[in-house]
Amino acid sequence: MDACVILASASPRRRELMGITGIDFVVDVPQVDETCDLPAKDAVMEVSRRKAVAAAQMHPGSVIVAADTLVSVQDIPLGKPHDEQAAFRMLQMLRGQWHQVYTGVCCVDAQGFLHCGESHADVRFCDDMTNEEIRRYIATGEPMDKAGAYALQGIAGLWVEEVRGNSSAIIGLPLPLLRRLLAECGVPVLPPQAD
């Protein structure tokens, strides 16, 4: 049975952020090719569009929400690490550096029209993060399913010196952008009423 709103993402962080909207939704994740050689800002738009279109084909008449996040340091896109060595290299690259986190969001309204946008933030890691700290962080398992091999809202927050921009964009679902796109889809996000 199709729900009114479908979140096309397996990310627990996106489920939590979507829950803030107060909108009832169901998670159903389409299988799509997430490889993309475009620059990070364009890649997140393309991959989120692929996810949204695939989910809309599975749930015609529903409103679809799909997103994709990439980290970029010195114009090098960093997706999810495929192993611990890749996570180590990514975190070394981020140490002491400003980098960008891009999240693309694509919604499909009940009539099948696309509503898309991108949000980003700049993040700077401290420069005194040691290799031993990186290894211990990787051993927690937290970096392994995260773009750029870290979670801002998790243990990696120990090394985040500064953030410029919306933190929900870094976590994977920029709430101001989501609110605007859902409104375009005819699903207003309203704060809950007091009892």
pLDDT for residue 4 is more than 60? yes
Check if 68 is active-site.
yes
Q: What is the pLDDT of residue 190?
A: 82
As a whole number of angstroms, the distance between CA 189 and CA 19 comes to 11
Q: Indicate the pLDDT class of residue 153, thresholds 50, 70 and 90.
A: confident
Residue identified by tokens 């738009």 is 45
Summarised one tens digit per residue, pLDDT across range 120-137 is 999 999 999 999 999 999
As a whole number of angstroms, the distance between CA 6 and CA 25 comes to 6
How buried is residue 82: exposed, middle or buried, by Cβ count under 10 Å (0-12/13-18/19+)? exposed
Q: Indicate the pLDDT class of residue 1, thresholds 50, 70 and 90.
A: very low
As a whole number of angstroms, the distance between CA 66 and CA 34 comes to 12
Does residue 32 contact residue 108 with C-beta atoms inside 8 Å? no
Task: Report residue 64 as tokens.
Answer: 């679809």
Task: Report residue 117 as tokens.
Answer: 């946008």
Task: Report residue 97 as tokens.
Answer: 């550096």
Q: Indicate the pLDDT class of residue 194, thresholds 50, 70 and 90.
A: low
Pick the catalytic residue from 2, 68, 83, 127: 68
